Structure formats: C-alpha cells, structure tokens
Amino acid sequence: MGKVYLVGAGPGDPELLTLKAVKVISSADVILYDRLVCDEVLSYAKPECKLVYVGKEDGKHTIPQEEINRLLVYYASSHERVVRLKGGDPFIFGRGGEEALYLKRYGIPYEVVPGVSSLYSVPAYAGIPLTFRGVASSFAVVTGHEATGKEKSIDWKAFKDIDTLVILMGVKNRQRIAQELVKLGRKPSEPVAFVERGTTPEQRVVVSTLGEVAKDPPEVSPPAIMVVGQVVGLQGELSSLLENLKKNMEGVYNA
C-alpha cells in the first residue's frame, strides 16, 4: 500500500511552488494533475513517472470526482508514492478535503502539502492588497460558482459589509454577482478588478465598478479572479511600483 500526497501547485507561476511540493513531485510514481497545473511544474517529475490528467474546464469534469477518488485508491494500491496535484491550495475550493476523507475511509495514508493560494497571490501580483490601513481591514473569499442540487447556495448577504471580496470561479456569473451585491447595499461606484491568468506571463487586469459590471460586464475569460473593494483603487499605483521592483531584482539576479 502506497501513500497519497495532496499537493498544491500554486497559482500559476512555477517559482511559487513550495520546496516541499518540488520534493514530493520529483519522487512521485504517479501524478494525477488538474488543468491549471503548468508544464514547468510537471517537469519536476521523474521520467518514469505516470502522468494522469484529471482536469476540469468550465465546471465540467473530464473525469467525475467520484472516479478521481477511485483512481487515487487504485494507484495507491500498486504504487509507493501517488501525488494528487492541484492548482493553488488543495483545501481551498479544490475538493482536497473530500479526497482526504475518501482516502481515510479506505485506509489509504495521505499527507497534505499546502500550496500558495490564488486568492491572495493573484491580487498581490496585480498590485491589489486585500487589506490596507485606513482602506480595508477585512476580507473574505467566496466561490462564484453557484452550487446545484441539494448543496448549499451562496448567501451574499453575509458579505455585504466585508471590505474586500475575493470571488473565485465567478467569471461566468459576474453580472449576476454584481447585481446581487448592489441590491444588498454595496455602492455601484465600488471598484472591481478581474485578474485573468494571474501570476503568469499572460496576466491581464480589467478594472471596472460594481454598477458597470451589473449593467454591462466587461469581457473576461477564465481562469480569472474577481476582487471587489476600495483596495482596487490602489492597483494602478502599486502595480507600477511592483513592476519596477521586479525589473530591478532581475538586474540583480543577472549581474
């Protein structure tokens, strides 16, 4: 019987992969990986490692979650080290908790290797601090993908007075989300930012307001994070500063 590692691959930039994640990936016999795991991260795997794609796209599972769970048990029964590799952190909207419970039920030993979450790293790369003295002292993260069936739906009232909202997987529902937040009392003039493909060379930032998104939402493509709050107003100034710092540091590394 082998061991399963539930590993967070970070938000996209391979340099944000943790040292422990690299160690586990490089020693894995089998890796089951998601859509947002980049090739640079997979390149740490040894040549003989079996790579199994189990990604999701637009809310649709290439392989149903139940089948992924069964695959983890199947590979753990015949391989020493099995890695379940997920974008971001496995326990933040990554269904890592469900997989851990399934493994426990079948007596499969497992270990969680946390990853850098997109919820704070992507806004940071875009120059948006989730908190800022005198501007925002609280933040919350919520999925923008409405649950279906018997699952609990999103209670937007709970987020009415939170200074900064980080909404993951909300691109498809961005107009309805903005309408709901305005209806609950958040100001239509409140700034909103969408960060596409955050922390990667293809990163793109679109800034708008809740009122504009509610009426005529800007074109945004997933994967993207939606940030609502006055801290978005700091984006222009801080993103320029961060870009200059990055260029200066590259000069130091290349010297």
| 81, 6 Cβ separation under 8 angstroms | no
Torsion sign (Cα): 57, 55, 120, 236: negative
Catalytic pick among 13, 34, 86, 89: 34
Query: Considering 29, 86, 89, 169, which one is annotated as catalytic?
Result: 169
- Does 46 qualify as catalytic in the annotation? no
Q: Residue 210 belongs to what H/E stretch? A: helix 210-215
Residue type, 252: V
CB atoms within 10 A of CB 15: 7
Beta bridge partners of 226: 167, 194
State how far the Cα of 213 lies from the Cα of 153, in Å rounded to an integer.
22
| Sign of the dihedral defined by the CA atoms of residues 126, 192, 136, 162, in that order | negative
Is 169 designated active site? yes
Query: What are the structure tokens assigned to 84, written together?
Result: 């379940």
**Nearest-CA neighbor of 53 among 37, 29, 74?**
37
Dihedral sign computed on CA atoms, order 211, 217, 219, 220? positive
Q: Round to whole Å and give the CA distance between 234 and 126.
A: 10
CA 76 – CA 1 distance, rounded (Å): 6
Q: Which residue in the list 3, 56, 163, 172 is annotated as catalytic?
A: 56
Does 56 qualify as catalytic in the annotation? yes
Residue type, 21: A
Strands 224-228 and 164-168: antiparallel
Catalytic residues: 34, 56, 169
